A and B are shown apart, each in its own frame.
Chain A
Amino acid sequence: MDLDDCHNFDDFRILAKKKLPSPIFHYIDGGSDDEITLKRNTNSFNSCDLIPNVLNGVENPDLTTTIFGRKINMPLFLSPTAMQRLYHPDGDKASARAAEKFGTMYSMSTMANTSIEEISNISSGPKLFQLYVHKDKSITDDLVERCKRANFDGLCLTVDTIVAGNRERDHRTGFTTPPKLTFKSLVDFAVKPKWVFDYFTNKKFELSNVKNKTDKGTNITKSVIEYINEQYDPGMNWKDAEYIVKKWNGPFALKGIMSLEDVERAIDIGCTAVMISNHGGRQLDGSLSPFDQIKEISDKFGDKVEIILDGGIRRGTHVIKALAAGAKACSFGKGYLFSLSAGGQKGVEKMLQNMHNEIKRNMKLMGCKNLKELNSSKLAYR
């Protein structure tokens, strides 16, 4: 099996599974607790059907939309995800270059293995930085200023990781970052020698954006869970968020809000966008899926704030349903991480090409010439 055989999300997932040591595969693939929310994020799209229109003369549908002040060429972009070096030696660089090629947004995690400045040097495409509020406020301030200097277009503050989710697969596999070779995990790594070779012969694993501020950035073998619990500020509140909005003074989103009440407050503190997300089902299991919640939010606040649906997207039709329900754009994490693991930049490009093809094909089949024509009259909820 190689990239040519990857026609959809599941194919990339299978190829990634073949290439990655199992603790790393399961770190991407897993959710919290019983993974009910993880599954529902995608299944929720199936409780709603599309109603197409015909004979509309739709040779060339326009797939562009504007988010965070930047026009993007397709209504789907890369969510910020941590530690991409674990999945492929090129990590964030591969993702950023692929996103630029497709004219869509790349997002960088605070916990990236590539620095803000490095990415800024290699990509002039639309860029979003994802921020975690650390207990040490100077880390937060430093990150915001560096993003500004590096011409990132937007900033998003993740608000659904106040404490780490219960990712039971990681307990079982003993996943840590950087990977710790215990006897238990040794076999998992030994059977994927290519990964191990790439990992040790490429640049050292580090959390490039925070390495000068905390020794946790490089040296100490920590699980992500422990890192979140030790470094992130669980006391974070609306005032802290407002402080960052003001400090950034540009397109800004809260990532990981689900309730109408919180969207309203996000607008009040000056957010220009909200990312409706449950962190890919990796935090609070049993929480509502973004698609189940998106229509209510967009009906009420769609004219005041850019609504981005994050989570569960596997198909072009999922994007179309989300947009018809009122989202301005969608983002995905697992959707491109498996393709990154499967084939680096080429893999991500193939995934984005597949999704671009699907969105374009399905816009034609919907009889829609541009994304604005997608509205709730095109949906029937079961």
Chain B
Amino acid sequence: MRLKDCHNFYDFRKLAEKKLPSPIFHYIDGAADDEITYKRNTSAFNDVDLVPNVLRGVENVDLSTTIFGKKIDLPFYCAPTALQRLFHYDGERAVGKAAQKFNTMFGVSALATVSVEEISSMIDTPKMFQFYFHKDRGLNDSCLERAKAAKFDVMALTVDTITGGNRERDLRTGFTSPPKLTLSSLFSFAIKPMWGINYLTKGKFELPHLQDYVKEGTSTNTSIGNYFSTMLDQSMNWKDAEKLCSQWGGHFALKGVMSVEDAKKAVDIGCTGIMVSNHGGRQLDGSRSPFDQLSEIVDAVGDKIDVICEGGFQRGTHMLKALSIGAKACSGGRLYLYALAAAGQAGVERALGQYKAELERDMKLMGCTKISDLSRSNLRFRKNGS
């Protein structure tokens, strides 16, 4: 199986599984507890059907949208995800360049393996920095200052990782970052020699935003759950978020908001956007899917801030449905991570190109030429009729 055999999300996932040592594949692929929420994030789209219109003259489709004051050419973007150089040796460099090529937003994680400075010198398209609230305030200030200096457009504070989720696949595979070669994991690394060679020869693995402050930044092996539970400040509250928001002084979003109440509070503290997200089902299993919750939140705050729907997207039609409800844009992690693992920048470009082609085709089939043509009148819910 090669990159040219990848026609959709599921193909990329398969190719990624072939290329990655299994603890790393399962780190991407897994979620919390029984992975009920992870599955629901996608299956929620299947409880609603699209109702197309015909004879609308749709040869030219404009997929552009404006989020956080920036026009992007696609109504979806690459959500910030951690540790990308574990998945492919180019890591964030590959994803950033691919995002630039399609002129969409590129989200960079606080746990990125390439620095904001390097990314900033590499791409000039819209960039978002994702931020965790650490106990170490010096580290927090440093992250904000560096992102500001590197001219990032948006700051997103993640609020759904107050403690690490129970990712049982990681417990079983013994996944840590950087990877620790235990006897049990050795075999899974040994049978993927290319990954090992690239990992060891293509530059040292590091977490440049953290390494001056915490030992987890460089060489200590830690699980991500453990990192969340020990390094992040669990007492984080609305006051802290408000302070960060004004300290940043630009477009500021909360990532991981699920309740209407919290969405309204986000508006009150000065956020310009929120990501409706459950962290890809990786934190609280049994929590509601972003798509199921989207309409309530759009109704409450959609006219005041940008509401982004994040999680579960595997098809262009999934995005059409979220945009029809009123999401300003869609974002996802696995959406491009399997493609990154499968083939680096070329993989991510192919994946983004496919979603774009799907969206264009589906917009035409829906009888729509621009994102603002989509509305809830395009949708029929199978249950509850909401």
Contact = CB atoms under 8 A, between A and B. Distances in A.
A binds B: yes
Contact of B171 (A7, A58, A315, A358): A7
Given A317-B33, A380-B288, A382-B383, A59 B235 contact: yes
Interface in B161-210: 162-166, 168, 171-172
B162 A365 contact: yes
Given A52-B287, A54-B257, 15 more contacts: A46-B286, A49-B287, A51-B287, A52-B160, A52-B259, A53-B261, A54-B262, A58-B162, A58-B235, A315-B286, A317-B33, A317-B285, A318-B286, A358-B33, A364-B162
A96 B36 CA distance: 33
Given A57-B237, A315-B34, A51 B168 contact: no
A360 to B, nearest CB: 8
B284 A53 contact: no
Interface in A32-71: 45-46, 49-59
Contact of A366 (B36, B236, B284): B284
Q: Which of B40, B254, B259, B261 has the most CB of A within 10 A?
A: B259
Interface string A191-225: 00000000000000000000000000000000000
B239 to A, nearest CB: 9
Given A315-B33, A380-B293, A50 B235 contact: no
Contacts of A45: 286
Interface in B27-61: 33-34, 36-37, 40
A361 B166 contact: yes
A364 B234 contact: yes
A59 B254 contact: no
Size class of B's contact patch?
Answer: 35 or more
B292 interface: yes
16 contacts: A7-B171, A49-B288, A53-B259, A54-B258, A55-B236, A57-B235, A57-B236, A58-B162, A315-B285, A315-B286, A317-B284, A358-B166, A362-B284, A365-B284, A366-B284, A380-B292
A58 B236 CA distance: 8
Interface in B65-117: none
B327 interface: no
Contacts of A317: 33, 284-286
A327 B113 CA distance: 46
A382 to B, nearest CB: 7
Given A8-B168, A382-B383, A55 B159 contact: yes
A59 B240 CA distance: 15
B21 interface: no
A51 B163 contact: no
A19 interface: no
A321 interface: yes
Contacts of A365: 160, 162-163, 165, 283-284, 287
